[in-house]
Amino acid sequence: MLLCYICGINELGNRNKSGICQECIEYIKYKCAATNCLNEVTGLNRKCHKCKNSGKLKGRKASEETKAKISKTRIEKGLAKGENNPMYGRKHSIESCNKISETRIERLEQGSIITWNKGLTKETDERIKKSTVSMSENHADVSGSKNPMYGKSLKDIWIEKHGLEKAEEMWIARNKNRNEKCLKYRISKPEIKIAKILDSLNIEYKSQFYLNKSYFDFYIPEYNMLIEVDGNYYHCNPRIYVNGPVNEWQKGKIDNDNRKNRIAEDNGYRLIRIWEDEIDIVWRIIC
């Protein structure tokens, strides 16, 4: 009796020509064989369900029953066009637009969705070339000073469209959202360790505390204390760099640290600076 060549345990039946047992077929995942498709398939399928069925109805007319099913599904998923779409005549709020944008960026990073023109140029793809030529022809008469956007900022356009008061609100909300997005990617690994240490000690804190146009890593209200977590290289740890900064980057960081020290002192806060190598010692003791 032949054994499965993957697991080497399960026996294969006489009619099994693949050399793989049923358990392994259900477990193993392959990439879809279709071009630019990142979906995974299991078993002996070469293509995923979406790619396998695409093009089957090309050149054929769907029945009225099928059309009704497709229409119903699109309405349920919010993909319907015109008045059947639940968003017809409505606009997404700024918060909703930001959520949609964040979700799309995350899915792009994960590879769950892929842009059709990724890696393509006008030299390699006829569609891109055609689109580029069409755009240059259509916008040839609105370049430079002829363009209605020439010399105007986004805020100026909002003022013209919504009035000064509304434009100011929109501008503040936009900058706030941009700052929050930037802060998501600004948190370093040493800061994460400090946050876990504070959590383990049940100390209440605020991360990325804003004060006088500067962000401090942590603020502890109970002690009116600010904490700055400094990396050995970027902030030029004097125990390591005995002769001082070795480049302009470190010099700039030192100047910025001194400025933050003055801000904390002028506003009555106690500022503590913790070096990256000191965090590892505390981390090993507590965690």
Give exposure, 143-179, as e/b (b: 16+ Cβ within 10 Å). Answer: eeeeeeeeeeeeeeebbeeeeeeebeebeeeeeebee
∠ CA 201-204-210, rounded to 5°: 130
> pLDDT band at residue 123, thresholds of 50, 70 and 90?
confident
H or E stretch at 53: helix 49-53
Beta carbons of 37 and 48 less than 8 angstroms apart: yes
Tell me the C-alpha to C-alpha distance, in Å, between residue 266 and each of 139, 212, 253, 269: 55, 10, 20, 8
Mean pLDDT of the chain, nearest integer: 76
Q: Could you tell me which of 226, 218, 212 has the C-alpha nearest to residue 188? A: 218
pLDDT at 25: 60
Spell out the alpha helix ranges (H) of 77-153.
94-110, 126-138
> pLDDT band at residue 50, thresholds of 50, 70 and 90?
low
pLDDT at 35: 56
Higher pLDDT, 76 or 192: 192
Q: Over 70: is that where the pLDDT of 184 sits?
A: no
**Distance between CA atoms of residues 186 and 179, nearest Å:** 10
**Distance between CA atoms of residues 118 and 128, nearest Å:** 11
Q: Over 70: is that where the pLDDT of 38 sits?
A: no
Q: Could you tell me which of 129, 100, 135, 134 has the C-alpha nearest to residue 117? A: 129
> pLDDT band at residue 210, thresholds of 50, 70 and 90?
confident
pLDDT at 112: 64
Question: Which tokens sit at 56?
Answer: 């089957």
pLDDT at 92: 81
> pLDDT band at residue 180, thresholds of 50, 70 and 90?
low
**Distance between CA atoms of residues 248 and 246, nearest Å:** 7
Q: Give the start-end residues of each E strand in the chain.
A: 29-31, 40-42, 206-211, 214-220, 225-230, 270-275
Beta bridge partners of 228: 273
* Phi, psi dihedral angles at 160 (to 5 degrees): -65, -40
pLDDT at 161: 84
The 10 Å Cβ neighbour count of residue 231 is 17
Burial class (CB in 10 A: 0-12, 13-18, 19+), 191: buried
The stretch 45-60 carries a mean pLDDT of 57
Residue 192 per-residue DSSP state: H
Give exposure, 258-281, as e/b (b: 16+ Cβ within 10 Å). Answer: eebeebbeeeebebeebbbebbee
Q: Over 80: is that where the pLDDT of 186 sits?
A: no
Q: Over 60: is that where the pLDDT of 285 sits?
A: no
* Phi, psi dihedral angles at 198 (to 5 degrees): -65, -40
Q: Over 70: is that where the pLDDT of 215 sits?
A: yes
Where along the chain do the CATH 3.40.960.10 domains lie?
187-286
Domain 187-286 is found in CATH 3.40.960.10: yes
Q: Over 70: is that where the pLDDT of 42 sits?
A: no
